[in-house]
Amino acid sequence: MHSQRPFRSLPFVLLVAAGLLLTGCSPGVKMVGTWEVDSEKLQADLQKSAGGNPIATLAAGMMSVVEVNLEFKSDGKFVATAKALGQSRTSGGTWRYKETDGDVMVLSMKADDEAAEREVRVRFTDWDHLEMVPPVHNEGPTSTGTFPFKRVKKS
């Protein structure tokens, strides 16, 4: 005689599995982790777009001394660290997944020292590589270029 008990627990198991799937389904979960600017790809992209311009070529070479890391935490906080020529600056803030626009993920980010959120557009080339368009500022120079990042693997 077979017990019916496993069938009674089936709805519970399905409910738990569905809950686990739903909590991890936000596309924003892909952002969690530490990312660093892929300086080799950035230099190659800058040199390609320089088109023989010596100043642009020099700027591309200078990118080799700049390090930028972004850590996106699962609690909605981020930490950004930039290092160049012996100087270091760290800032933090909050982030959240806003929407998906085609193959681009739109994040809302707010730095601790800013009053307003800014949109950041991210396109994943694979799980460990992405291209990020920094937010456009209303004041001062703006950048419409993309910055390649690669996931920092824990060792």
Check whether 33 has a pLDDT greater than 90: yes
What was the pLDDT predicted at 54? 72
On whether residue 25 sits in a domain, the answer given is no
Look at 16-20, 33-37, 43-47, 126-130 and tell me which has the smallest mean pLDDT.
Answer: 16-20
On whether residue 64 sits in a domain, the answer given is yes
User: What pLDDT, in 10s, does the model give residues 120-146?
Assistant: 999 999 999 999 987 655 443 334 478
**Over the chain, what is the mean pLDDT?**
78
3-state secondary structure of 96: strand
> Which CATH number goes with the domain that contains 40?
2.40.128
On whether residue 12 sits in a domain, the answer given is no
Q: What is the pTM of this model?
A: 0.72
On whether residue 102 sits in a domain, the answer given is yes
Closest C-alpha to 73, from 88, 92, 87, 60: 92
> Domain range spanning residue 83?
31-151
Q: How far apart are the C-alpha atoms of 138 and 140, rounded to whole Å? A: 7
What was the pLDDT predicted at 50? 65
- What the block records as the tokens of 46 is 């800058």
On whether residue 94 sits in a domain, the answer given is yes
On whether residue 142 sits in a domain, the answer given is yes
On whether residue 9 sits in a domain, the answer given is no
On whether residue 106 sits in a domain, the answer given is yes
Distances (CA, A) of 18 to 12, 25, 94, 119, 153: 10, 10, 28, 31, 29
User: How many structural domains does the chain have?
Assistant: 1
Q: How far apart are the C-alpha atoms of 91 and 78, rounded to whole Å? A: 8
What residues form DSSP beta bridges with 80?
70, 91
User: What pLDDT, in 10s, does the model give residues 38-90?
Assistant: 988 877 777 777 666 777 666 666 666 778 899 999 999 999 999 988 899 99
